[in-house]
Chains A and B, each alone.
Chain A
Amino acid sequence: MTTANQVLSEVEYDVVGKRPVRPDGVDKVTGRAQYGADLNLTGLLQGRVLRSPHAHARIRSVDTSKAEALDGVRAVITAADLPFASMSKDELGGDYNRFKFLSDNFLASNKALYRGHAIAAVAADNAHIAEAALALIEVDYEVLEPVIDVRAAMQDGAPLLHDDLVHTSAMGEVSEKPSNVASYMKFEKGDAAAGFAQANVIVEREFTTASVHQGYIEPHNATAHWRADGQINVWCSTQGAFVVRANTADVLRVDVSDVRVTPMEIGGGFGGKVSFYLEPVAALLSSKAGAPVKVLMSRTEVFEGSGPAPGSWMRVKMGANRAGKITAAEIELAFEAGAYPGSPVMQGATCAFACYELENGAVEGYDVMVNKPKTSAYRAPGSPQAAFGVEQVVDEVAQKLGVDPVEFRLNNAVTEGSRKVEGPVFQKIGLVECLEAAQNHDHYRTPLSGPNRGRGIAAGFWMNRGFHSSVNMTVNPDGTVNLIEGSVDIGGSRASIAQQAAETLGIGYDEIKPQVVDTDSIGFTMVTGGSRTTFATGWAAILASEDIKTQMVERAASIWDVPAEDVEYDSGVISHKSEELSFTFKELARQLYTTGGGITGTASLDPTGEGNSFGVHVVDVEVDPDTGKTEILRYTAIQDAGKAVHPSYVEGQIQGGAVQGIGWALNEEYYFGNNGQMMNSSFLDYRMPTSLDLPMIDTVIVEVANPGHPYGVRGVGEVPIVPPLAAIANAVEQATGKRMTALPITPGSVLEAEWNGG
């Protein structure tokens, strides 16, 4: 490893903390790994989806007769084939919105709420016939005025997406008037007004961010076979097979036990494959056609029909005194939910000031529906937008006080025992350690020289998740152990989970054989998301390993005919505490079948104690004064990972998150025409960073062990996307003197700021 990547460790282990090759690696470098689109089944049909060309339209009628008559077409479905589409509010009661919205996002029943909203689907002998059939479906639309901007959608008189939806505030107040605001929340701590009165410096600014996409390279796909016996088999690209199972069963009104979901290898997700779009559609097509059906999205469909991260508007105000202490802060956030309620504004609200010790704070959030696809999770959902505003205001306050931005953050950083605005108290956390690592880093200590250059820093927070995970482990006669898990491996988690099992059992990493299996073959496991997998599924592997150890000790005791209390397990060796009796793990494994049977360890748990994570990023940029283009010269990302189980994959998460943040900051946005149509729905026009746009991304893993996990693990996947947006904006401000308050910071917006003196 080069010095570009540092690991600051507290504790060393035998296997945890090492960098072994991942178990699924060979299949993935040889093209043999089976992703969803690679699946082939006997008699497989190809499915395609017809999507609304309008951002907002009432669907008067859908005529599929010509499509059905086309040679090679085996099934055509519309919302009329979904059970909830025709059910009334009275029939569904309190669950009306949940089920109706869920169902309508698979196939729209009465209104198309965004361009790309699914209207109908076809299964045919091949994809070309399916596409020809889509063109024969006649939809009669009453085109309505769309609203695509979050502030416009909040105005009185804005076009309403849902005529009958009234919002309920966090305090339970129900509005009387239908609006696009699905919910409203407010948290307060201390007295913000009094805090601002004590401030010597106050900064208040408004910010906006554009809709951006997760940008996974593998488009959504789902294959389903609704068998003659009623069993529905689904194979798909998902971050959570059990969520697909539950929602598919819900929307088709069948029992969960009728649905078996096999998660295929997944070609990226970043939260976008926590949501799903195709599985019930494929199942219904299969039911009608009597054959398995594979449905694939095109790249344009991914952009127009799957969840982006929300565009947002924010107002941030912060005051500080001459001693460099923040006296009060408040933020208002309005997030686009897309077509149905459910933006991550709550997460944005709870992350906004999480880095800072606040005596007086107020946080308000609005979840606002607009005519865009229903937003989906995207890596630390809500936190990057909030940090874009807050971390720029923090920077400006420090500037006005004449304090170094890292020093100012250190002076106000939260530590163990700090209470957040919305209530929770921090356990052991590593923000101070990250800020100190930034301060001491060669990058921050090296003066930046040259014209049009600037250095920015920003901090970021993500709470991380625990949630449910299950692991089964079986000892093989050769001393290896099969590890069966339900966590889809999106970036090396087979390795990080196997490492924790090997460490616990005291055997080699290569002795653990991890496999990700379907929903019939493992206990309930939540999504690979929320930075939870290495933490929670790893913990399940630790408990399953402990279960094996207990049984191995009992077996040795029974073979030796001694009390189990006299036998101990240490580093893969089972031995008698006083007599000279011992087995290595391998020796005992070989005897299991003839001494009482095989041994399987199991664990299913829902752990709390996930450690919060913090990151601090430092970036140098150069802004071309003629073109306005911002180039990243140097980038260092520092993060508390608790214990990094597989440092290479932790670095990979940090680097990947940072680069997604760079794209969000500089290039990426959904660009909409006046009629609400996305104008840049290809990778040519929605420009994600390429290798040519970037320098190396240096990392520092700071290890402040999480006391809530046996090996001190914290989730690592999400927080690295939080700081880059603001860090880059702060660097651009240093380079140009212009405060960029709207994302993305395009060459055009930089030049505009220069020309307008903004």
Chain B
Amino acid sequence: MPGLVHVTTTINGNQTDFLCEPRQSLLECLRDVVGMTGSKEGCNDGNCGACTVNMDGRIVCSCLVLGVEAQGAEVNTIEGVASAEGLHPIQQSFLENAALQCGICTPGFIVATKALLEAEPDADEARIRHWLAGNLCRCTGYDKIVRAVLDAGERMRAG
């Protein structure tokens, strides 16, 4: 049995320390060690995007990152998207555009969308479809998700 490693990282702006086995994924650490279950496991092999988090400014599948790799990193998860002031415009837009049905893929989509719109607030449909191709949704056929992202872009541009 391997020993536990002490990891010091920043999650949603807060310094967080946890102990994990070297073989544990970041997703596992977030969910089972830190107790943040907003990031979801759909496949555990990087193909569905339900566990998407932002790590040092890049979106990654947290199931493909080891927990120990979070040492010194800035990790942002779905739990950090809303603030004390309320929902983020992307979240509001997903709700109002009915862009979720079962909701299991939604955290991953919102984290991925936030990274896109922060970099490219005027992303068009083609760009959105390309950017979100790593996130699987089985309920919506993507139509309302794409519309919600277009709408969120408008909201964010309007400030």
Interface, chain A (partner B; CB < 8 A): 2, 19, 21-22, 24-26, 28-35, 37-38, 40, 71, 126, 128, 214-219, 265-270, 298-299, 490-492, 646, 648-649, 651-653, 655-660, 682-684, 688-692, 694, 696-697
B91 → chain A closest CB, angstroms: 4
Q: Which of A30, A35, A71, A214 touches B91 (beta carbons < 8 Å)?
A: A30
Q: Are B95 and A26 in touch, CB under 8 angstroms?
A: yes
Q: List 24 A-B contacts (CB under 8 A).
A: A21-B96, A25-B95, A29-B87, A30-B81, A34-B37, A37-B40, A37-B41, A217-B40, A218-B40, A268-B102, A268-B104, A299-B44, A491-B102, A492-B101, A649-B98, A652-B101, A655-B143, A688-B136, A689-B141, A689-B142, A691-B133, A692-B129, A697-B141, A697-B143
A696 CA to B145 CA, complexed, in Å? 10
Q: Which residues of B contact A691 (CB under 8 A)?
A: 128-129, 132-133, 135, 137, 142, 145-146
Q: Are B133 and A218 in touch, CB under 8 angstroms?
A: no
A657 CA to B94 CA, complexed, in Å? 20
Q: Which residues of B contact A267 (CB under 8 A)?
A: 40, 42, 102-105
Q: Are A683 and B47 in touch, CB under 8 angstroms?
A: yes
B114 → chain A closest CB, angstroms: 12
Given A30-B81, A31-B78, A683-B47, answer yes or no on A652-B38 (Cβ-Cβ < 8 Å).
no
Q: Which of B31, B43, B87, B144 touches A652 (beta carbons < 8 Å)?
A: B144
A649 CA to B103 CA, complexed, in Å? 13
Is B140 part of the contact surface with A, judged by Cβ < 8 Å?
yes
Given A30-B91, A217-B105, answer yes or no on A35-B139 (Cβ-Cβ < 8 Å).
no
Residues of B90-144 contacting chain A, CB below 8 A? 91, 94-98, 100-107, 110, 125, 128-130, 132-144
- Known contacts A30-B79, A656-B101, A691-B145, then 17 further A-B pairs from the complex at CB < 8 Å, ordered by chain A residue: A21-B96, A30-B78, A35-B40, A37-B37, A128-B23, A217-B137, A218-B40, A219-B41, A265-B103, A298-B44, A648-B97, A648-B144, A653-B101, A655-B140, A683-B43, A684-B45, A690-B142
Is B62 part of the contact surface with A, judged by Cβ < 8 Å?
no
Given A26-B87, A30-B38, answer yes or no on A217-B79 (Cβ-Cβ < 8 Å).
no
Q: Which residues of A contact B144 (CB under 8 A)?
A: 648, 651-652, 655
Q: Which residues of B contact A689 (CB under 8 A)?
A: 141-142
Q: Are A218 and B38 in touch, CB under 8 angstroms?
A: no
A511 CA to B145 CA, complexed, in Å? 28
Is B50 part of the contact surface with A, judged by Cβ < 8 Å?
yes
Is B48 part of the contact surface with A, judged by Cβ < 8 Å?
yes
A24 CA to B102 CA, complexed, in Å? 10
Is B77 part of the contact surface with A, judged by Cβ < 8 Å?
yes
Q: Are A270 and B138 in touch, CB under 8 angstroms?
A: yes
Q: Which residues of B contact A655 (CB under 8 A)?
A: 140-141, 143-144
Q: Are B101 and A659 in touch, CB under 8 angstroms?
A: no
A28 CA to B109 CA, complexed, in Å? 12
**Nearest opposing residue in chain A for B82, CB measure:** A30
Given A30-B81, A31-B77, A691-B128, answer yes or no on A682-B45 (Cβ-Cβ < 8 Å).
yes
A667 CA to B51 CA, complexed, in Å? 24
B152 → chain A closest CB, angstroms: 11
A150 CA to B36 CA, complexed, in Å? 46
A22 CA to B103 CA, complexed, in Å? 12
Q: Which residues of B contact A684 (CB under 8 A)?
A: 45, 47
Q: Considering residues B42, B47, B103, B146, which has the most beta carbons from chain A within 10 angstroms of its beta carbon?
A: B103
**Nearest opposing residue in chain A for B91, CB measure:** A29
Is B39 part of the contact surface with A, judged by Cβ < 8 Å?
yes
Is B21 part of the contact surface with A, judged by Cβ < 8 Å?
yes
A324 → chain B closest CB, angstroms: 34
Q: Which residues of B contact A29 (CB under 8 A)?
A: 82, 87, 91, 94-95, 100, 103, 106-107, 110
Interface, chain B (partner A; CB < 8 A): 1, 21, 23, 31-32, 35-45, 47-48, 50, 77-79, 81-82, 87, 91, 94-98, 100-107, 110, 125, 128-130, 132-147
Q: Which residues of B contact A299 (CB under 8 A)?
A: 42-45, 47-48
Q: Are A31 and B95 in touch, CB under 8 angstroms?
A: no
Given A26-B95, A30-B91, A31-B79, answer yes or no on A217-B136 (Cβ-Cβ < 8 Å).
yes
**Nearest opposing residue in chain A for B135, CB measure:** A691
Q: Considering residues B37, B38, B78, B82, which has the most beta carbons from chain A within 10 angstroms of its beta carbon?
A: B37
A265 CA to B129 CA, complexed, in Å? 27
Q: Which residues of A contact B101 (CB under 8 A)?
A: 268, 490-492, 649, 652-653, 656
A689 CA to B48 CA, complexed, in Å? 11
Listed from nearest, the 9 A-B pairs whose CB atoms lie closest are A31-B38, A267-B104, A659-B141, A28-B103, A491-B101, A31-B78, A648-B98, A683-B47, A38-B37
A268 CA to B36 CA, complexed, in Å? 21
**Nearest opposing residue in chain A for B107, CB measure:** A31
Q: Which residues of A contact B45 (CB under 8 A)?
A: 299, 682-684
**Nearest opposing residue in chain B for A217, CB measure:** B42
Q: Which residues of A contact B140 (CB under 8 A)?
A: 652, 655-656, 659
**Nearest opposing residue in chain B for A72, CB measure:** B1
**Nearest opposing residue in chain B for A692, CB measure:** B133
A22 CA to B96 CA, complexed, in Å? 9
Q: Are B44 and A652 in touch, CB under 8 angstroms?
A: no
A660 CA to B137 CA, complexed, in Å? 10
A216 CA to B140 CA, complexed, in Å? 11
Q: Are B43 and A682 in touch, CB under 8 angstroms?
A: yes
**Nearest opposing residue in chain B for A720, CB measure:** B141
Q: Are A35 and B23 in touch, CB under 8 angstroms?
A: no
Q: Which of B36, B79, B106, B147 touches A28 (beta carbons < 8 Å)?
A: B106
Q: Are B98 and A19 in touch, CB under 8 angstroms?
A: yes
**Nearest opposing residue in chain B for A660, CB measure:** B138
A646 CA to B96 CA, complexed, in Å? 12
Q: Which residues of B contact A128 (CB under 8 A)?
A: 21, 23
Q: Are A32 and B102 in touch, CB under 8 angstroms?
A: no
A649 CA to B98 CA, complexed, in Å? 7
Q: Which residues of A contact B145 (CB under 8 A)?
A: 691
Q: Which residues of B contact A265 (CB under 8 A)?
A: 102-103
Q: Considering residues B32, B45, B47, B138, which has the most beta carbons from chain A within 10 angstroms of its beta carbon?
A: B138
Q: Are A33 and B41 in touch, CB under 8 angstroms?
A: no
Q: Are B141 and A658 in touch, CB under 8 angstroms?
A: yes
Q: Are B91 and A696 in touch, CB under 8 angstroms?
A: no
Q: Which residues of B contact A688 (CB under 8 A)?
A: 136, 138
A196 → chain B closest CB, angstroms: 40
Q: Which of A33, A218, A690 touches B42 (beta carbons < 8 Å)?
A: A218
Q: Which residues of A contact B104 (CB under 8 A)?
A: 35, 216-218, 267-268
Given A31-B38, A490-B102, answer yes or no on A217-B48 (Cβ-Cβ < 8 Å).
yes
Q: Considering residues A38, A266, A648, A692, which has the most beta carbons from chain B within 10 angstroms of its beta carbon?
A: A692
A101 CA to B135 CA, complexed, in Å? 37
A626 → chain B closest CB, angstroms: 23
Q: Which residues of A contact B106 (CB under 8 A)?
A: 28-29
A718 CA to B96 CA, complexed, in Å? 24
Q: Are A22 and B79 in touch, CB under 8 angstroms?
A: no
